Amino acid sequence: MKFKILTNSLLLGLNKVNYVVNNKSPIPSLNGIYFRLDSSDLTLIGSDSDITIKCIIDKDLEIVNQGRIVIPKFIVEIIRKIDDEWVELELVDSLVIIKSNKSEFKINGINADNYPNIDFTLSGDKINLSTNVLNSIISETAFATSQEEIRPVLTGVNFSCVNNELTCIATDSFRLAKKSINIESSFDFNINVPAKCLNEVTKLIREDKNIDIYISQQRILFNLDNIIIQSRLISGNYPDISKLIPEKFESVLKVNKKVIQDSIDRANILSLNSANYIVTLEKNSSLVTLSSKSQEVGSIQENISYLNFEGNEILLSFNSKYVNEALKSFSDDIVSFYFNGAMSPFIIKSDENDSPIQLILPIKTY
């Protein structure tokens, strides 16, 4: 194998596949990046066995000899630090020689025969989405997935489609994010997609295009230009959340999103060095206040300017981290909080678009 390539082009491709390469994989070959040089292009593959990213480079490339090899992932750092426009890679036996005008590196490669045989066939039921739409789905839901492996199904986002309505739900049992849109689909489905895979997809979206998504029984595959991302699906039944989101509310508070975000940030000053993110919201008389306290440090309270309030007075506490992440998922400036008492879940919605719904459980503080 021998080829010459624009340094920036190679680095861009390596960065795309390197996201999922794990230095601690029990499969030695998965600790590196797979290179396959054909007569017309260079294929790069990175995988952690659950999620795999494939990138094809067919420009800015001069091919001398075809071949394949697995190169340890620190090649990314080598290419990043090369200060020349072009770089040359040559495979001599199992030794990878990387040359530029100023530098030469020699790296022991890994036999490509030991790399797992990964099927990238574009098979299964297909849907097509705008990358902007997909990006908004992910940004409005994936952050609410669980970080714990105790219930694996909660580490993913549930995608279900019935009669052309796609509903995406994420929850970690303490909060919930839901997004619904209409799509063109000739089939119904209900799958659990790992949040890690979805977050990798967003990293690779650079402009608004259409992306093909292939769904089969055990995997999902995203095909965008010369990049393919595929992932195993999470098995198991996702919790039924149909009765969790209330239809009626006792109180509604409409506020400017930035105003309440800034107030929460100030209330969090006392808890920056602890895991205590508890903030109390109170609507009493004509005032809306946010407060927090720490036995070691002190307390803080401030009045919040609001746009409108309807219903009963409220007094409840919540995890400010959860509320802040929920607020960040909205692109609109005005949001409304819907309450049903101190210990009932409350939801946040945008006034412009009621499709994204954020639900959060209050915290008992007495």
Which of 232, 267, 293 corresponds to the end of one domain?
A: 232
pLDDT digit string, tens, across residues 248-257: 999 999 999 9
Based on the structure, what is the number of domains in the chain? 3
Neighbours of 305 (CB within 10 A): 10
Instruction: Give the whole-angstrom CA distance, residue 171 versus residue 145.
Output: 5
Pair (78, 110) in one structural domain: yes
Tell me: do 172 and 201 sit in the same domain. yes
Residues 212 and 284 in one domain: no
In a domain, 238, yes or no: no
pLDDT at 253: 96
Q: At what angle do helices 195-204 and 131-141 cross, to 10 degrees?
A: 140
- Among 114, 133, 161, residue at a domain's last position: 114
Please give the pLDDT value at position 274: 56
Kindly state whether residues 190 and 286 are assigned to the same domain.
Answer: no
- Is it the case that residue 276 has pLDDT exceeding 70? no
> What is the DSSP code string of 19-88?
TT--TT-SSGGGGEEEEEE-SS-EEEEEE-SSEEEEEEE-SSEEEEE-EEEEEETTHHHHHHH--SSEEE
Mean pLDDT of 260-268: 90
pLDDT tens column, 37-84? 999 999 999 999 999 999 999 999 999 999 999 999 999 999 999 999
Q: Is the dihedral of CA 172, 173, 177, 183 positive or negative?
A: positive
Q: pLDDT at position 148, please?
A: 87
Q: What is the largest CA-CA distance in the chain?
A: 80
**Model confidence band, residue 272 (pLDDT cutoffs 50, 70, 90):** low
Rg over alpha carbons for the chain, rounded to the nearest Å, is 25
Summarised one tens digit per residue, pLDDT across range 322-340 is 999 999 999 999 999 999 9
The whole-number pLDDT of residue 205 equals: 84
Burial class of residue 39 (count of CB atoms within 10 Å of its CB; 0-12, 13-18, 19+): exposed
In a domain, 106, yes or no: yes
Residue range of the domain that includes 258: 251-360
Both tokens of residue 181?
A: 């849109």
Query: What are the φ and ψ backbone dihedral angles of 131, each rounded to 5 degrees?
Result: -65, -30
Question: What mean pLDDT value characterizes the chain?
Answer: 92
For residues 59 and 142, membership in a common domain is answered with no
Final residue in a domain of this structure, among 114, 141, 170: 114
79-133 per-position pLDDT tens digit: 999 999 999 999 999 999 999 998 999 999 999 999 999 989 999 999 999 999 9
Same domain, 109 and 140: no
Domain containing 295 — which CATH number? 3.70.10.10
One domain for residues 155 and 198: yes
Of the listed ranges 212-221, 238-247, 273-282, the one predicted with least confidence: 273-282
pLDDT the model gives residue 366:
62
Q: Give the separation between CA 25 and CA 4, rounded to whole angstroms.
A: 30
* Beta carbons within 8 Å of 298's beta carbon, 6+ residues apart: 270
Element holding 136 (H helix, E strand): helix 131-141
